[in-house]
Amino acid sequence: MSALPPGAVIGMLGSGQLGRMTALAAAPLGLEVHVFAPSAGPATQVTSRFTQAAYDDEEALARFADAVDVVTYEFENVPARTAEVLAARVPVRPGPHALATCQHRAREKGFLRDLGVPTAPWWPVATVDELAAALEALGGQGVLKTAELGYDGKGQVRVATGDDPQAVWTRLVGAVPRRDLVLEGFVHFEREASVVVARGLDGAVAPYDLVENEHRDHILHRTTAPADVSAAVASEAAALATRIIVALDYVGVLGVELFLAGDALFVNELAPRPHNSGHWTQDGAVTCQFEQHARAVAGLPLGSPARRGRTVMTNLLGDDVDAVPALLAEPGAHLHLYGKAEARPGRKMGHVNRVTPG
């Protein structure tokens, strides 16, 4: 249970921008990051330690485990077996159980149901016949999602009254006769929101303020911190996030995505890693989510999640990155680029934070 000393190495599964920003935040704490991934990416640009191998290469995983002091991940689609192999040799935080729960929608929603956390109505679906039965129970409408590997609107299809179950199935997963899916009913919500929450190795919990999120084409466009809600709603959101992270026995930073329907809160999804809607913390909070994650997995005390002001975070997608010169010239704009060479439509190239008093 002791904290890692300066010079310790955090193993990072994944080479994306979340790993990059975690490595940058870990460096002032005296911690290094060693990336393990099948290919180079934004994270490998900021650390000299990199193992390039497939996630199922158990010999490479063993060598990686021996070269680091703790392992974490920057995206949830790491195979559960990878986490299990590493956990036999080195601490993995968050643990394999939390990863397995959060990376599979049916397991995640079952966990939330058993915890008494409100969600949209949902049904696990594994065959076309089960989809037909679930559609009937939902009145013919909903969103069919793959249980795994879905993000930013990928791996899901909207279902309307009268749609043929077989056609819907084929549109989402092709000719595969059996696949773990989830059919979700609609929640009539006014706004989307989220809470980023951290839990330390000592059990201390630090939720950040509830924020409001605006999506475009299923991709986060803008986050406003704090959300314009009552103190009671903000407190309830923090309490929900705390219940979830404690029940998972989770160490690290967790993103809790929510729907707001009046004063009612519904949990949509969990992200077992730093979250895009938490990027505002880099300039708008005393301790940013990436430093908080490094602190937690290293067994260090958590920092303060308090806001420095009102912050608006805007993602730079695709050609939005062409505005970099103007953003650099804008007083009060804090620019964060991810080091990606090619700007494609919808690709997250960076983000900008704007902080004002309040």
pLDDT at residue number 175: 64
pLDDT at residue number 139: 77
Which residues are registered as beta bridge partners of 37? 52
**Residues 274, 180 share a domain:** no
Which CATH number characterizes residue 79's domain?
3.40.50.20
**Residues 337, 202 share a domain:** yes
pLDDT digits (tens, 9 = 90+) for 38-74: 999 999 999 999 999 999 999 999 999 999 999 999 9
Are 241 and 194 in contact by the 8 Å Cβ rule? The answer is no
Q: Is residue 198 part of a domain?
A: yes
**Residues 285, 165 share a domain:** no
The Cα–Cα gap between 3 and 6 comes to 10
**Residues 307, 221 share a domain:** yes
Percentage with pLDDT > 90 across the chain:
76
pLDDT digits (tens, 9 = 90+) for 261-316: 999 999 999 999 999 999 999 999 999 999 999 999 999 999 999 999 999 999 99
Q: What are phi and psi of 328, to 5 degrees?
A: -65, -25
Q: Is residue 349 part of a domain?
A: yes
Q: Which 3 state secondary structure label does DSSP give 69?
A: coil
Residue finishing a domain among 45, 74, 102: 102
**Residues 289, 249 share a domain:** yes
**Residues 88, 17 share a domain:** yes
**Residues 255, 128 share a domain:** no
Which CATH number characterizes residue 138's domain?
3.30.1490.20
**pLDDT greater than 90 at residue 148:** no
pLDDT at residue number 7: 97
Q: What are phi and psi of 79, to 5 degrees?
A: -55, 140
The Cα–Cα gap between 239 and 242 comes to 5
pLDDT at residue number 166: 87
pLDDT at residue number 50: 98
pLDDT at residue number 89: 97
> pTM score, two decimals?
0.93
Q: Is residue 317 part of a domain?
A: yes
pLDDT digits (tens, 9 = 90+) for 93-115: 999 999 999 988 999 999 999 99
**pLDDT greater than 60 at residue 6:** yes
pLDDT digits (tens, 9 = 90+) for 207-265: 999 999 999 988 999 999 999 999 999 999 999 999 999 999 999 999 999 999 999 99
How many contiguous H segments (helices) and E segments (strands) does the chain have? 11, 17
The Cα–Cα gap between 36 and 345 comes to 27
Q: Is residue 110 part of a domain?
A: no
Residue finishing a domain among 102, 132, 155: 102
Which are the contacts of 187, defined by CB distance < 8 A and separation ≥ 6? 120, 259, 261, 266
Q: Give the total number of structural domains in the chain.
A: 3
Are 13 and 72 in contact by the 8 Å Cβ rule? The answer is yes
Q: What is the DSSP letter of 322?
A: G
The Cα–Cα gap between 210 and 216 comes to 20
**Residues 20, 37 share a domain:** yes
Sign of dihedral through CA atoms 340, 344, 345, 347? negative
Residue finishing a domain among 184, 210, 228: 184
Question: What are the Cα distances from residue 197, in Å, to 247, 250, 309?
Answer: 13, 10, 18
Which CATH number characterizes residue 297's domain?
3.30.470.20
**Residues 156, 229 share a domain:** no
**Residues 322, 250 share a domain:** yes
pLDDT digits (tens, 9 = 90+) for 182-197: 888 887 889 999 999 9
With cut-offs at 50, 70 and 90, classify the pLDDT of residue 158: confident
**Residues 164, 29 share a domain:** no
Q: Is residue 2 part of a domain?
A: no
Q: What are phi and psi of 183, to 5 degrees?
A: -100, 120
**Residue numbers of the domain that contains 26:** 9-102
Q: Is residue 1 part of a domain?
A: no
**Residues 135, 221 share a domain:** no
Q: What count of Cα atoms within 13 Å lies in the side-chain half-sphere of residue 167?
A: 7
